[in-house]
Amino acid sequence: MTGVKITKRVSTIEYAIRDVTVCAREVARTGKKIYYLNIGDPVAFDFDTPQHIKMALIKAVQDGENAYAPSEGLPELRQAICRKERRVNRLDLSQEDIIVTSGISEGIQMILAALIDSGDEILLPGPTYPPYISYAKFFGGEPITYETVEEDGWQPNIDDLRSKISQKTRGIVMINPSNPCGALYEEKVVKQIVDLAGEYGLPVLSDEIYDQITYEKGFVSTSSVAKDVPVIGLNGFSKAYLMTGWRLGYVYFHDQKRRLEELKQGIERETRIRICANTPVQKAGVAALDGPQDHVKEIVRKLGQRRDYAWKRINEIEGMSCTKPGGAFYVFPRIHSVGSRWKTDLGFVLDLLRETGVLLVHGSGFDPVYGAAHVRGVILPPMETLEQALNEVERFIKAKE
């Protein structure tokens, strides 16, 4: 029997953040220490899931909360999400506006499956979180990136965004705070994007998973300024609630005129064919949202120190430059020798990995246009680990001059 033929849609899937770990495993087999600065998982470092959330999961299992849940999510969790959104982001949502997902990635998949047909276009910030690109292509669509301006703290270029709207455009994606850049969008910029979407009758897909991880300034929810423009929000429990491996997220629909109703019903049908999100984890999600929130301030405090150190240290390295992140937990520096010493940013990443064990992600994996010649790293490790890793980066670049 010859090999089984696979489809083009799976053979072309890419996910730069985890694709580079394949190379890291090969290097690790040689005995070299690896500095994993590629994946945004705080629990892999010195952050831990709060005890009350852990205990809620244990209690749910012991209490027999182990059957299937409703496909759209447990009512008590959807109600807790409404309370959280009201408390944190000043949004008035009802239980019926919420769909619980197995992590935010499933939410992205479901929304784009319901929104994109072959030949349709979706507008994404460039650079962007890679699954938006991959899922758009998977469903036969065309991901179109609009410019975010590095010199302006990676704020979106509204004129460029406008120029890329076409009759094929099905929606505008906003990731705020930004992954991979750490940009925190200004309120006026959020409002400009919302107004533009309203002008062209488009929904806004607003990825807000880092809404509680901001530094000098607070986050402005897209829906809080949207008025009558329909917004599909995406959020989850991985970051602020340190539940990365638990895989719990949600989608909300903010739409005063109910123009998203048919789309919402389509996504609800998708939830039925995958049955439901994990039931005991949903029970723990209620405890996460309604329980003590002190850990969030501590996360931001620790990350703020690491952000300040990493940003300053990177800008001290000749051949690198980095804008200061306003939220999330990433740095996205430019590598000035890409195009001369290194042909591509991926080449830089792989050389760095093999020689030093420092694992970053190539910026072109977040967008070949606006991400090129950059790398993304996390600021999650303890300060001493960050210092060791960045010292290795500096030594490596100096040696290649």
Q: How far is 338 from 348, CA to CA, in rounded Å?
A: 7
Tell me, which fold does domain 51-290 have in CATH? Aspartate Aminotransferase; domain 2 (3.40.640)
The encoded tokens of residue 169 equal: 């455009």
Instruction: Return the beta strands (E) in 188-254 as ranges.
Output: 204-207, 231-236, 249-254
User: How confident is the model over 239-291, as pLDDT tens digits?
Assistant: 999 999 999 999 999 998 899 999 999 999 999 999 999 999 999 999 999 99
User: How confident is the model over 284-297, as pLDDT tens digits?
Assistant: 999 999 999 999 99
Residue 1 pLDDT > 60? no
User: How confident is the model over 327-346, as pLDDT tens digits?
Assistant: 999 999 999 999 899 999 99
Residue-wise DSSP of 77-96? HHHHHHHHHHHHH-----GG
Are the beta carbons of 126 and 120 closer than 8 angstroms? Answer: no
φ/ψ of 289, rounded to 5, equals -80, -35
Instruction: Return the beta strands (E) in 115-228 as ranges.
Output: 121-126, 142-149, 155-156, 169-175, 204-207
Burial bucket for residue 297 (CB in 10 Å: 0-12, 13-18, 19+)? exposed
User: How confident is the model over 351-361, as pLDDT tens digits?
Assistant: 999 999 999 99
Mean pLDDT of 353-381: 97
Rounded alpha-carbon distances, angstroms, from residue 341 to 264, 336, 345, 351, 401? 49, 9, 10, 11, 8
Query: In which band, very low, low, confident or very high, does the pLDDT at 10 lie, cut at 50, 70 and 90?
Result: confident
Q: What does the mean pLDDT of the chain come to?
A: 96
Q: Which pLDDT does position 11 carry in this prediction?
A: 82
The encoded tokens of residue 318 equal: 């000749």
Are the beta carbons of 34 and 381 closer than 8 angstroms? Answer: no
Which CATH number is associated with domain 8-48+295-399?
3.90.1150.10
Are the beta carbons of 43 and 245 closer than 8 angstroms? Answer: yes
User: How confident is the model over 63-91, as pLDDT tens digits?
Assistant: 999 999 999 999 999 999 999 999 999 99
Structural domain boundaries in the chain: 8-48+295-399, 51-290
- Residue 399 or residue 120, greater confidence: 120
